[in-house]
Structure 1
């Protein structure tokens, strides 16, 4: 079996402080060893190149955890995460713990996701479709140390195998952003040839949703602001584009395009305005998919009961994806149908890129170079 040299220490972005003032400066931390059932993954991309750089994806959820934005909901980074966020990692296996040699070997390519592990025994794990609700799950960057480090542990039973035809640089963002958009498209129940509205279509999740919706045969109305976003959304497959900086009544514009309204809307923007307007884009029987997670607890996903009843609207939630969903999402990239638009930075600049994300100035999906 192949072996690799593993250093005793590594660099990691470790949370310091609380709330909006929290930062994640670089620290030297010990490289962990895999326990039985675990593997150790070197977070990188294009690992077959000697000059490969090491990358991890940046998600809005990482920003929320580092800044304690969900603390009022009881969701804050646990001590077991050691202050290391990140859950969009892809790289190469460098060490295999006991009980995993039948499944993984050194040199295999592996992806680490938001769901780090599940118990495999509860009702949700055994029904075949719902392990995301396992009450005993662990989460990367939340209850387990995440991917903002050079070497990350992962539960070997729940780690994703990266297929040929997908670089690690692309696979990382698909571990969360890509599979979240893909699963939301499935949850919308929009069929080939039907209309879907994608507010924030040029963003980190939105640009994935455009590509998956296109590949699944949907007709896409992209909503975003500016000529640059228009060009991007059209290039990715949007049939129509509505510029919210120029169009005041987006619902009327949707009706002009679709006659009766769209069949589905995926809300990736975590704002009160986005959730309030989404139902007005729909035809009778249409579906709103809630994906964006507002920090304001007063934001409600829904519509006035009379609208829900008279139009028989559906409001559903969607969060990341199962192990099978991730495999399916990666397959779209392996077949050349979906590719993340990447903004590249350095792990040392994590806080700067979070500020850019907050300001809405981060195009596509960010990947950060670790070394």
Structure 2
């Protein structure tokens, strides 16, 4: 099978096309025929020698999320059959990740693709969507609460906007530039603001809709802009951020800060599907790359873009 793999850790140039054997599956695994695979920051970290699964060896195939069809099913797997269209978020993959035509993955990380999400885009969704869901869980806001999302037009952020609206939250989305603002507006944000603009104006607009402050802040990035936006959180409110955000958000009296990780398990996958199926759901793909140009996709990771990057395998 064709893959994109690396024989050493380093920059994007270490990822090269090659041929490797199709992996054999265990009783609790499925063999995924990959259609599309997401390209995320965690893939870059693995390429650099971090977040490497125990038992993995060179040549190392990156990729933690994908969508495709079930090509084979292990003897102990239930609920999945050959031919099912599915998506996967699996950060372990010791037999190789999803930058490949086929990949073996534990069935507990696999879910059938819900209606409304095309398989052509779904590979970019799983890890970011599950992480966004964990962020909303960390905040645990009641329906009708005001949520501020910083980095709302990014890979995790634009999915968080949609999941938050399905939980009946009022969403203030701070996005990147006019293109980002247009994206989050289209996805249903109640208020869409440009984080590249005057922050005094941004904060004033937030106070107009939430005079007492927002109830929670979901931060997809750190830095001085986030520190200013945290002024909009009411006393007793919470700022939640995914582990890995740098610099880590500053704490202040009266506001709780909480880090979180995405979770891939049958319960979370089921919850995610229920939320997705509640209405139209969009996975915004900024750019697609064929499998043979995975190194180029990793170089694109280092730039700014709305939504997600995607490898098209089939």
Name the residue aligned to 1:108: 84
Q: How many residues align?
A: 310
Bigger strand share: 2
Task: Pick one of 206, 216, 238 that aligns with 1:254.
Answer: 206
The structure that has the greater radius of gyration is 1
- Output aligned runs, 1:212-361, within 5 Å: 212-249=163-200, 250-269=202-221, 271-273=222-224, 276-291=227-242, 293-294=244-245, 299-304=247-252, 307=253, 311=254, 313-321=255-263, 322-342=265-285, 343-360=287-304
The 3 A distance-change label for structure 1 pair 167 and 193 is same
- What is the CA distance between 1:330 and its match in structure 2? 2.3
The 3 A distance-change label for structure 1 pair 22 and 65 is farther
The 3 A distance-change label for structure 1 pair 238 and 337 is same
SS class of match (1:80): coil
The 3 A distance-change label for structure 1 pair 191 and 228 is same
- What is the CA distance between 1:265 and its match in structure 2? 0.6
Name the residue aligned to 2:124: 173
Q: Cα RMSD between the aligned structures?
A: 2.4
- What is the CA distance between 1:181 and its match in structure 2? 1.3
SS class of match (2:140): coil
CA contact under 8 A between 1:22 and 1:67: conserved in structure 2? no
- What is the CA distance between 1:39 and its match in structure 2? 1.7
The 3 A distance-change label for structure 1 pair 248 and 87 is same
CA contact under 8 A between 2:117 and 2:281: conserved in structure 1? no
Normalising by structure 2, we get a TM-score of 0.88
Name the residue aligned to 1:124: none
The 3 A distance-change label for structure 1 pair 336 and 225 is same
Compare 34-43 and 14-23 and name the one that shifted more.
Answer: 14-23
Name the residue aligned to 2:32: 41
C-alpha separation in 2, matches of 1:108 and 1:325: 19
The 3 A distance-change label for structure 1 pair 235 and 81 is farther
- What is the CA distance between 1:172 and its match in structure 2? 2.4
Alignment of 1:89 with 2:66, yes or no, is yes
SS class of match (2:197): coil
Q: Which has the higher contact order (CA 8 A, sep 6+)?
A: 2
SS class of match (1:192): coil
The 3 A distance-change label for structure 1 pair 76 and 254 is same
Structure 2 unaligned blocks of 5 or more: none
SS class of match (1:254): helix
C-alpha separation in 1, matches of 2:42 and 2:128: 10
Normalising by structure 1, we get a TM-score of 0.76
CA contact under 8 A between 1:22 and 1:66: conserved in structure 2? no
- What is the CA distance between 1:164 and its match in structure 2? 4.5
- What is the CA distance between 1:22 and its match in structure 2? 5.0
CA contact under 8 A between 1:66 and 1:77: conserved in structure 2? no
